[in-house]
Each structure stands twice: as structure tokens, then as C-alpha cells.
Amino acid sequence: MSNGTLEIKAISGHTGTVPGRDTSRDYAVAKLIDVTTCIGCKACEVACLEWNGYPFRETTFDNTYQTMPDTAWNYYNLIRFDEHTAEDGTFSWLMRKDGCMHCADPGCLRACPSDGAIVQYANGIVDFQQENCIGCQYCVTGCPFNIPKFNAETKKVHKCTLCSDRVGVGLEPACIKACPTGCLHFGSKDDMKDLAEKRVAQLKEHTSHKNAGVYDPAGVGGTHVMYVLHDIEHPERYGGLPKDPQVPLLVRMWKGPVKWLGNLAMVAGIVGVAAHYVRFGPKEKHED
Amino acid sequence: MTNGWIDIKNTDMMLIMGGNPAENHPCGFKWPIEAKRQRNAKMIVVDPRFTRTAATADMFVQIRAGSDIAFLGGMINYALANGRINKEYVANFTNAPFVVKDDFKLPEEDGVFSGFDAATQVYDKSTWNYQGSGGTGKGLPEKVTSDPSLENPRCVYQLLKKHYSRYTPEMVEKITGIPKEKFLAAADLFTSIRKDGDTKKVATVIYAVGWTQHTFGSQIIRTAAMLQLLMGNVGRAGGGVNALRGHSNIQGATDIAGIFDNLPGYLKVPTPADTDFKAWMTRITPTSSKPGDWESWNYWSNTPKFAVSLLKAMYGDAAKKENDWAFHYLPKVDRNYSWTYLWDGMYNGHVKGLLAFGMNGVMVGPNSGKNIDALKKADWLVVCDIYPDETSEFWKSPGIKPEEMKNIKTEVYRLPGAGFAEKDGTFVNSARWLQWKWVAVPPPGNAKLDHEILARIFLKVRELYQKEGGKFPDPIVNLSWGYTNPQSPSLAEVARELNGKALADIKDATGAELKSGQQLPGFAWLKDDGSTSCGIWIWCGSWTEAGALIQRRGTDDPSGLGAYPNWGWSWPMNRRVLYNRASCDVSGKPWDGSRKQVWWNEAQKKWVGVDVPDFKADSAPKDHMGPFIMNPEGVGRLFAPLAAMAEGPFPEHYEPFESPTVNLLHPKQQNNPVVKKFTSAADKWGTKESGFNVICTTYRLTEHYHYWTKNNPVNVQLVPEPFVELPVELASDLGIKGGDKVKVSSARGIYIAKAMVTHRIKPMQINGEKVYQIGMPIHFGYRGIQEDEGRTERMLVNELTPAVVDPNAYTPEFKGFLVKVEKA
Ligand code: SF4
Ligand code: SF4
């Protein structure tokens, strides 16, 4: 999704200066998802689908309320439903809105070799620019949240844009607008952090959720999508949210010491072993 | 709702039971969430399944479907035993001190109240009355004997206490399957707002069709209302008894008389016994009944003004004093025309045709198989809808063979109506707010506005009567139809007509004047002399000379209570919380100064406030007028006298019509003694002994809207297929895995869909035996995107449900019937 109105901070596969860098005018934004007040209504899923103009895709029943097993190239926003029984027998039904976390240190962008296929705006939004995407899917490997999804037909990768096209003109993301309970919030990262901490303090004091906490993982430099969880000790219960997500080591190296290798490989048209590893493993290949 | 959606944000405590607002009212559910976020309000959810509402609750209690009265009766017992009530409220604002007739008997031994004739299954209700003097002798006494100390053993308070003392935590556990400790924890939490004599806090009760759809549904709601009266929660911001209405305009449909025994504004229809207007008015206009030193406004004493104004709206100049205001044009209802009775009538060949507008009759059930068979016998069927639906294609329902199809002679007409966004008009929401909406897009193709279709049918029928006469043409040919465009009346014109206008120059009690033709400012102006016309008295005041109040969009909320007095218009007279005089103590001072709604202003000698007082504005607290102005007693009814309820003045637990257990309170009286059921060949009942050993309940999903959205790709994408939710333990007993096909059968039909195996429904111990419950969403049928592609079994959940109904509201028992579950 290209966006001409937001200030750019980082560009994938790019050497030289980043236009507009350090002329800071946009403040860092964030989406806060208060999982404790999500009712799994999927209004956000529908809003996302409609704003992005994606058509009907067939789904099948899979013993769950969850719309489909995973997000897809044309389905960025998915509520994950998980049943959980605690040791004392207390039962909970957890619903988490899954989608791109808009990492401050985005593994996808680090991994991407193509100039301008992924950009990070100064406000924190990480956005894929499909016209520059070469379909190598390195970003898939770079992402610790299993977010970028490949469209086999167009050979392009897609993911949540945090509605950069809306935010760029002063609107909130479509999901935020649709959420009926107000469990989704959008604003400056500072404000959202503040709101999240206050909510956590309230949960700890007034409810049985004594382990409530804010999910803003340091391993990826913090995120521009944060969660309030009932139990911060066990993010994995919420549809496998990683406890301590990190940009994969190889991807770090890729963008660091061995970056020249990758660029050379691309230029020469040689897909080296290392690059292949970056591309496919250790993860399973996820295709639509 | 006594209160409103937004008002829920003012509460301290929520009991959500018989409803699943997070899933079925997700937009309104923001207010319970707001109460949690802003006030640290607690939420208790009681349901047979752990729902998406339960996911956000502070406490979830799994209950056996259909045992709600036992649970709520246990709550009443707990509140009374532990002093968790508002004593001043109970003694002054309810009929607790009223003394009941000596020969009234509680159902403690045999499960029936006094006056029951077992042979005819009919109650003589004459003992269900107060002691006192005056009145006709048949109705309520004019002067009621009362004991303000509440100690008289025959007073309502003492009888109530005795009645619910049987609902011990142990009994609740055996009947509902809720472990005693869990029940006590829930009862303690809910009533904790009245701990140590606190009268400031407030609790709300939120329910929907999970309460109404039982053979004793009205009594479940009454039990909750009684609990709320005892705790002093009715009339207060953040309190009340709040029905979440299922469609965007079901409240409007009820108001305007979508029910056969009502006329608009809840006037009771005439019956053949009402030989003239006067007889009808005498029967349906109550006279006040109260202790000598109290006052009762008895607002229904104005019934003749409402009725004459309605007849003037219907018949205009043809309604005159000389012809009894055209009373004789009104149909006299001589039998039950409610939903299941209509279908039974068609099944038995009496009802020959059906106009089905805005509803999918076959899907709606209960006992859809019977209803499909009924349509085969009808002469004609007219369906007006926006999709080809199961009703208009009943003759193609699964199981009908081509040979049989040829023999179905029913003539079917399909009329393309308009969707909600294709017409303007009002929605009346659960909070009784009339809100005008503007048309967004024109109807496509040849589709027509529903009111145009209805108008054109009417005009054609009128033409026939005009031409051919017929038995009794007057009610048709004299109907007032003065719309600018008679073929398609503008809904704004209809809305103005419903509000009503002066037909002559008139004055009100204060001497204010209205010229003939002017819109009425409110129902206080209605007259019984033919000088006013009004289509529905409770909406009078909605479209006045000041304009369309229903179109207002003012977002100012001076009270901070979410009353938004300039947004739309709520009936009656823009009051946002009903019975709000009860938000004050006897002296007229708010129970909680931080949530002031109305109060007595001694200097001005009147009731003032941030809401419109639902009370006689100048009635001083010392006069002790009751806040429940629609009851002839002026007070809330803990005891419902005489004909108010079909099965007794106090709600009693009866088993669902199909139940896996005996009624532990009185094994000889298993079910509601006056339950209504049918006797056709298609009406069959299952028992545990005949293999129907699992309790089944039906419900709706967030992702779908009734039977429409199976035609809409996005909804279908979210939930593509029908399913059956069943407990992990039952699935493993039967060797069923998630996604396997299961066959669910009742005595009436079968249903096949994929299994959703879940921990969200647990097996229960009912009276010492293990009982399973399952649940099924109702949305799928034999027409729709998936159905047409052959991706589902094309079956109807309501083929399973029984046509057995509550004797008050005639609502079928969709929740809690018996089935057999097998691997398909
Ligand atoms: S979640 Fe994945 S796709 Fe989104 S910014 Fe982080 S690394 Fe990139
Ligand atoms: S719209 Fe809000 S409440 Fe509904 S599923 Fe999405 S995040 Fe949850």
C-alpha cells in the first residue's frame, strides 16, 4: 500500500539517504488492544476486509469460532479463539485480535532485500509497497509473528498496513472505528502506553486478573500494536503469541555483517544457500 | 427496558442471564463494558453455555436450561434471609404490606395455587386478591388492608418469604445443577450492593429471549423483577429490568400492536363479550386499589381517552359518539391468534392463507416440519421479502419428493420488498427510543417499499368492497386513508398521524390552547369526546408542532448519566428511565446523590430533575402516591393479583415441558399447570425414557442475523456452516470428534450438522444424575449461499423444537427441550 502523506523513517534494501529522514513531524502512533474487553465479534475483521476491498473467500468449519486458521494475504485481521482451563479449574475463553504488530525493529524490513518494498514511517507504521515487492518472501522469515502472507498469483506479499492510507489523512484505522466495545484504541504511542498501564492497574486492583500486563515486547524494540493481557506471563495461550519475540539471528546478520552477500546474490541472480535459509527455514513455508 | 442501553454504564452490578448481549447486541454491549471500565462494576453471567458475554464476565455460572426460576427464587430467598434488601423501598413502593385473602394458598404441597381445577386445568383466581373493602367485589378492592410493619403473616411480604424459603441453596443445586458454593458466591456478589444497609449502589438485570422462550418465560421475568423490587433497583439509573429486544424494531412492532390481543399502545382488544364501547371500557379500565392513606395515580384510568383517540385516527369522521366511536368496526377477538395457534389452525385446515411480511415463518418455528405441512394445506401464501426464502419455497424443503411437490396446490406469490436501508421511517430500540432513519439507497429493480405494497393491497380490497358490498364493508370502506399519496403513504405522514392532532380548538387542564389541526404535544391532551385523534397514545409527543422530535440528533448530556434528552425521543414523553420517582426515598430525596435523576423541589412544589419525572409532577411526597403509576395499586407488584398472570401470583419453578428430571419441589406437578400445547399428529413429545436424554437449547451468533445473512458473502465467510456445540465429555462418550457429522433428533424431527466439541459446555449434576446440554445456532436453512451450493445438509434447527407455549405470552419453548445425539 503506497502512501504519500506519511514521513518515512526506514526503507528496505535501500542504500543512501532516506528522504525526509530526521525532519521529524509525525509522532509515533500505536494501536492498543485491550484483550480483556474484546468480545470476539469480528467487527474489526469485517471492517478490515471492507476497507481493503478484499472479496469473499471460502472458509470451512474447523471446530472453532475462529474465521480461519491463520491470517491471509487478503485477510489481515483475525480474532484467535482459545479455550483455556487453569489449574484451579477456572475456565476462560480467550480472544485475541491477531495481525501485524508494527514492530519498532521490524524483522520483515530487515530481511527484505528489495529497495522500497517495505518502509517504516516515522510514526512507526511498517508498510509493504507491493509495487517494489519481488516476491522473495524473506520478510516471512524475518517476522517473529508469522504475519506477512504471500499471494501466489501476483507473487506479492501483503499484511496489515495499520491503515496507513487512513492514518496519513488523520483518520483512525478501520478496525478501531468498527470496534463496538472500545477494546481497540488508537493514538500516540505514549498515550496508548499510559492507557494500557492504567487499565492493567485497574485489572490488578479490581478483578481476579492479578497477572495482567502490557505486551510491548522489547525483543523487537517494542511494538506499535500493543496488548493488555489478563495474564502477561502466558502470552502463548492467546493463539501462540510469542513470549519473547526476537528478530531471527540470521536476519539480524543479514542486515548487518553479511548484507553485502545477499545483495551480491541478488545482483548476480544466484540464490545462495544462506539466502535460501533466510527465505524458507527454519519456518514452514506459509502459502495461501 | 425500564432503563436504556446507555444507562447500563451507571450500574454497579450486572446480572446477565437469559441473554447473550456480547454476541447478539455487540453494539449495546459497549455499555456493560463501560460500567466495568469506569465504575469497576461487576458482571455475573448465568447461561447454559460459556458465551462470548461470559468471556468478559467477573463470574460465570453454568445453569441447566429452564431452571431459571429456581435460581432466581434462590436469590430472593438469599436476599431476604440476609437482609440484602431496601426495606424502605419495599415497605413503601411495593405491595409487600398488602394483606392477601385468607383462602389464598401457596403451592408448597401440591405445586398449585388455590383455585386449581385439575380436570379442566383452569384456575379460579378469585382468591388471588387482597383483603379490603369497596370495588365491584370481582376486581381489586378499592381500599386494601395493609400492614406497614410487614409482620402480618398474611401480608405479601410474609407470604413471599414463606414461598421462597423452599428455594434453599441445596434445592437450587439439585434443580439447576449449580454447585451450592457457586450459587452462594453468585447470590452474595449480586446482593452485595445492599450489604450493611447500603441503599446507594444499584444493580441491573439484563435478559433476552433466553428467558422468554420457556413455558414459564413470563414468570422468569417476573421473578427477576421481584428481586429488583426487593433490592430497590427499579426506577434507578443503572438499575431496572432490561429486555434486550432482538431486532432493530421489535420494540416498535410490539408498541404498535404486533401482538394479537393488543391494540396500539397496549390497549386490550375487545372480545365478543364487549357488546359496546362502554362495556369494553369498563372491562379494560382499572380503578385504583390502595391502602386508605396512600395515593395511586392509576394512569390507565385514562384508557377511554386513548381508545377514542385511536378510533378517531382509524376512522376519522366515521367514528362518532352516536356510533360508539366506530367500536363496532373493531374485530372482536374470540380466540388465540398467536403464532403457534395460527400455524396449528392452518395445519388443521381452518386458516386458508397467509401474508408473510418481513419474517421467514417456516424457519422461525417451532416445529417447522408441522408448519411446512401446514403450508401444503393452505390455499395461498404471499411472501414479501428481499431474498427467496424457505417460506416462499416451503414446497422445495428437503424430504419433499417431486411427486409430492406436484400435489401441493398452494398458490404462492412472492413480492419483492425493500430492505431496511431502502426505506425511511423509525426504529424503536430496546430503550424505547424512537429514532428516525433516512433512506440510504432506493430499492433495486422492481422491488417496492413494503408500505406501498400494503397500501396497494388495501386499496384493491377496498375497491372490491366498494363494488361488491360484502358482509360488512364498513370497517374497510370507512378506514381513514387521507394520505397525500394513497398508493404509497409517506412514512413521515404516518408518523404525524400516529402522534395525533387536535380535531377542534381544545384546552388542557392548565388552560393552554391548541388550535384544530395542530399536532398534540403529548398524551395529557388526549380527550374522550372525539376532539383529538392519536394512532398510538404512548408515542404522542413524538412529532409535535415543534417538529419531528424523533429526528433530533442532539448530543448534549447535561446529567452525565447518558440520558441525551435531545437525541431522538423516547416514550413515554421522553422519559429515559421508567418509574424514576422510585429513584428517591419516601421523602423525595435521591437514594444516591451522585446519580440524581428526579427529585422533589419543596420550594417549587414539584418534581424536577435531569430526566422527565415519570410521575404526577405536583404530587408531594407526604401524599404517598406510589411510583408505579401504571398499576392500579401505584406500587410494584411482588404479588400479582387476579388475572395478571396465568399460573399464579408468585412465580414457581416448573420443569420445562420436556425435562430429564422430576420436579423436586412437587413431583406430582411436573410442568406449568396451565401450559398450552397442541394435540395434532405433528405435536409429539420426547422423554428421557424414550431415549431423548440430552437437553438442547438454540441460539444466535454474532456473525449472522436470523435467516438473512446466509445470503451475504461476508457473513458466510465468518461462519460458513451450521454446527452443533457439544461438551467434550459427551463427544468422547459417543466417539465424536470436532468436525464429525452428528445427528440430533427430537420427537419431532432430525438435524444434521458438524460437531463443535468444546469445554464451554460442561456436563451437569441434576438431582444426582449426570446430564448433558448441547446448543445449536439457528441461522441455516435450505436457501442461502452455502445451501444453494450443497455445502450444508439444508436442515432447520426448528424442526426439533416443540410447539408448547407460555400461557401468558404464548412464546414457545425454544430453550431446553430434549434430544438424542448420535454420530451421523
Ligand atoms: S509483526 Fe512481522 S510483519 Fe509486522 S512489523 Fe513486525 S516483523 Fe514486520
Ligand atoms: S471489533 Fe473489537 S471487540 Fe470485536 S472482535 Fe474486534 S477487537 Fe474484539
pLDDT of A42-98, one tens digit each?
999 999 999 999 988 899 999 999 999 999 999 999 999 999 999 999 999 999 999
* Distance (Å) from CA A31 to ligand 1 centroid: 14
Residue A259 pLDDT grade (very low, low, confident, very high; cuts 50, 70, 90) = low
Measure the CA dihedral A118/A119/A120/A126, to 10°.
-40
Does residue A287 sit in helix, strand or coil?
strand
Looking at residue B398, what is its pLDDT? Answer: 87
> Cα distance from A38 to chain B (closest Cα, Å)?
8
Looking at residue A288, what is its pLDDT? Answer: 39
Give, as one character, the DSSP assignment of residue B12.
S
Cβ atoms B806, B215 nearer than 8 A: yes
User: Residue B349 above 60 pLDDT?
Assistant: yes
> Cα distance from A255 to chain B (closest Cα, Å)?
39
| B56 vs A contacts (CB less than 8 Å) | 36-39
Residue A129 and residue B294: Cα distance in Å, rounded?
A: 77
* Rounded mean pLDDT, B579-598: 98
Looking at residue A254, what is its pLDDT? Answer: 63
**Cβ–Cβ gap B56/A36 under 8 Å:** yes
Q: Is A35 in the pocket of ligand 2 (CB under 6 A)?
A: no
Residue B201 and residue A95: Cα distance in Å, rounded?
A: 32
Q: Which residues contact B805 (CB under 8 A, 6 or more apart)?
A: B215, B338, B340, B675, B676, B677, B811, B812, B813
Index of the ligand 1 atom closest to the CA of residue A148: 3
User: Residue B793 above 90 pLDDT?
Assistant: yes
Residue B35 and residue B21: Cα distance in Å, rounded?
A: 14
Q: Which residues contact B164 (CB under 8 A, 6 or more apart)?
A: B73, B74, B76, B77, B80, B650
Looking at residue B248, what is its pLDDT? Answer: 87
Residue B499 and residue B533: Cα distance in Å, rounded?
A: 8
Residue A15 pLDDT grade (very low, low, confident, very high; cuts 50, 70, 90) = confident
| B739 vs A contacts (CB less than 8 Å) | 61-63
* Distance (Å) from CA B586 to ligand 2 centroid: 44
Cβ atoms B332, B360 nearer than 8 A: no
Chain B residue closest to A66 (CA)? B718
Q: Which residues contact A261 (CB under 8 A, 6 or more apart)?
A: A272, A274, A275
Residue B335 and residue B329: Cα distance in Å, rounded?
A: 18
Asked, for residue B621, whether it belongs to a domain, the answer is no
User: Residue A256 above 80 pLDDT?
Assistant: no
Residue A283 pLDDT grade (very low, low, confident, very high; cuts 50, 70, 90) = very low
Asked, for residue B773, whether it belongs to a domain, the answer is yes
Q: Which residues contact B366 (CB under 8 A, 6 or more apart)?
A: B340, B798, B801, B802, B803, B804, B812, B813, B814
Helices marked H in chain A: 43-51, 107-111, 138-142, 164-167, 174-178, 189-206, 249-255, 259-268, 273-280
CA B689 to chain centre: 34
Task: Find residues 189-208 of chain B whose CB sits inside 8 Å of chain A.
Answer: none
Reference A129, options A99, A111, A106, A109; nearest CA is: A109
Element spanning B222, H or E: helix B217-230
Cβ atoms B586, B92 nearer than 8 A: yes
Looking at residue A268, what is its pLDDT? Answer: 43
User: Residue A274 above 50 pLDDT?
Assistant: no
User: Residue A263 above 60 pLDDT?
Assistant: no
Residue B819 and residue B686: Cα distance in Å, rounded?
A: 8
The C-alpha cell that represents B799 in the structure block: 424442526
* Distance (Å) from CA B153 to ligand 2 centroid: 54
Whole-angstrom CA distances from B572 to B6, B229, B243, B558, B734 are 17, 21, 17, 20, 54
End-to-end, the C-alpha distance of chain B in Å comes to: 43
Residue A62 and residue B481: Cα distance in Å, rounded?
A: 55
B506-519 residue pLDDT tens: 998 889 999 999 99
Reference B577, options B550, B596, B591, B554; nearest CA is: B596
Looking at residue B333, what is its pLDDT? Answer: 96
Residue % of chain B over a pLDDT of 70: 100
User: Residue A282 above 60 pLDDT?
Assistant: no
Reference B696, options B806, B801, B565, B583; nearest CA is: B801
Asked, for residue B61, whether it belongs to a domain, the answer is no
C-alpha atoms less than 13 angstroms from C-alpha of A288 in its C-beta half-sphere: 23
Element spanning A74, H or E: none
Residue A53 and residue A44: Cα distance in Å, rounded?
A: 14
**Cβ–Cβ gap A42/B702 under 8 Å:** yes
β-sheet bridge partners, residue B143: B133, B290
Cβ atoms B210, B815 nearer than 8 A: yes
Return the amino acid letter for A277: Y
β-sheet bridge partners, residue B501: B519, B533
Looking at residue A25, what is its pLDDT? Answer: 67
DSSP one-letter string for A157-219: EE---TTHHHHTTTPPPHHHHH-SSS-EEEEEHHHHHHHHHHHHHHHHHHSS-TT-EEE--GG
Residue nearest to atom 3 of ligand 2 (CA): A38
Looking at residue A26, what is its pLDDT? Answer: 76
Q: Does domain A3-246 have CATH number 3.30.70.20?
A: yes
Beta strand B42-47 pairing with B13-17: parallel
User: Residue A284 above 70 pLDDT?
Assistant: no
Residue B67 and residue B347: Cα distance in Å, rounded?
A: 32
Residue nearest to atom 6 of ligand 1 (CA): A103
* Rounded mean pLDDT, A175-200: 97
User: Residue A8 above 90 pLDDT?
Assistant: no
Facing A93 at nearest CB: one of B36, B739, B760: B760
Task: Find residues 22-81 of chain B whose CB sits inside 8 Å of chain A.
Answer: 22-23, 26-27, 29-30, 33-34, 36-37, 40, 50, 52-56, 58, 60
**Cβ–Cβ gap B714/A50 under 8 Å:** yes
Phi, psi dihedral angles at A284 (to 5 degrees): -70, 150
* Distance (Å) from CA A101 to ligand 1 centroid: 6
B115-169 residue pLDDT tens: 999 999 999 999 999 999 999 888 999 999 999 999 999 999 999 999 999 999 9
User: Residue A267 above 50 pLDDT?
Assistant: no
Cβ atoms A54, A74 nearer than 8 A: yes
B213-231 residue pLDDT tens: 999 999 999 999 999 999 9
Asked, for residue B578, whether it belongs to a domain, the answer is no
* Rounded mean pLDDT, A226-236: 98
Cβ atoms B613, B580 nearer than 8 A: yes
Residue nearest to atom 4 of ligand 1 (CA): A100
C-alpha atoms less than 13 angstroms from C-alpha of A136 in its C-beta half-sphere: 30
Would you say how long chain A is, in residues? 288
User: Residue A229 above 70 pLDDT?
Assistant: yes
B241 versus A2: the higher-pLDDT residue is B241
Asked, for residue B799, whether it belongs to a domain, the answer is yes
User: Residue B243 above 70 pLDDT?
Assistant: yes
Looking at residue B233, what is its pLDDT? Answer: 98
Burial code of A43-69, b = ≥16 C-beta within 10 A, e = fewer? bbbbbbbebbebeeeebebbebbbbbe
Looking at residue A19, what is its pLDDT? Answer: 65
Q: Is B684 left (phi over 0), alpha (psi -120 to 50) or beta?
A: beta
When divided into structural domains, chain B yields a total of 1
Cβ atoms A111, A208 nearer than 8 A: no
Does residue A235 sit in helix, strand or coil?
helix
Index of the ligand 2 atom closest to the CA of residue A39: 3
Reference B474, options B269, B318, B281; nearest CA is: B318
Q: Which domain covers residue B718, as residue numbers?
A: 676-823
Looking at residue A276, what is its pLDDT? Answer: 47
Residue A67 and residue A56: Cα distance in Å, rounded?
A: 12
Q: Which residues contact B324 (CB under 8 A, 6 or more apart)?
A: B276, B277, B278
Pocket of ligand 1 (CB under 6 A): A 100-103, 106-108, 126, 143, 145, 147-148, 159
Nearest ligand, measured from the Cα of A97:
2
Chain B residue closest to A47 (CA)? B714
* Block residue for cell numbers 451522585: B594
Looking at residue A1, what is its pLDDT? Answer: 47
The C-alpha cell that represents B215 in the structure block: 413455558
Beta strand B59-62 pairing with B741-745: unpaired
User: Residue B395 above 90 pLDDT?
Assistant: yes
Burial code of B67-103, b = ≥16 C-beta within 10 A, e = fewer? bbbbbbbbbbbbbbeeebbbbebbbbbbbbbbbbbee
User: Residue B32 above 50 pLDDT?
Assistant: yes
A11 versus B310: the higher-pLDDT residue is B310
Task: Classify the C-alpha dihedral A116-A120-A125-A126 as positive or negative.
Answer: positive
* Rounded mean pLDDT, A25-29: 84
User: Residue A119 above 80 pLDDT?
Assistant: yes
Residue B263 and residue B244: Cα distance in Å, rounded?
A: 22
pTM of the predicted structure, to 2 decimals: 0.95
Which residues on chain A place their C-beta less than 8 Å from a C-beta of chain B? 36-43, 45-46, 49-50, 55-65, 67, 83, 85, 91-95, 180-183, 199, 202, 206-208
Q: Is A43 in the pocket of ligand 2 (CB under 6 A)?
A: yes
Looking at residue A20, what is its pLDDT? Answer: 61
Q: Percentages helix, strand, coil for chain A, rounded to the nearest 5?
A: 30, 20, 50
Looking at residue B509, what is its pLDDT? Answer: 84
The C-alpha cell that represents B118 in the structure block: 385439575
* Distance (Å) from CA A200 to ligand 1 centroid: 25
Give the domain CATH number at B719. 2.40.40.20
B261-292 residue pLDDT tens: 999 999 999 999 999 999 999 999 999 999 99
Residue B664 and residue B676: Cα distance in Å, rounded?
A: 22
C-alpha atoms less than 13 angstroms from C-alpha of A190 in its C-beta half-sphere: 2
B441-497 residue pLDDT tens: 999 999 999 999 999 999 999 999 999 999 999 999 999 999 999 999 999 999 999
Does residue B610 sit in helix, strand or coil?
coil
Peptide bond connecting A282 to the previous residue in cis, omega within 30 degrees of 0:
yes
Quick check: ipTM above 0.90? yes
Cβ atoms B159, B100 nearer than 8 A: yes
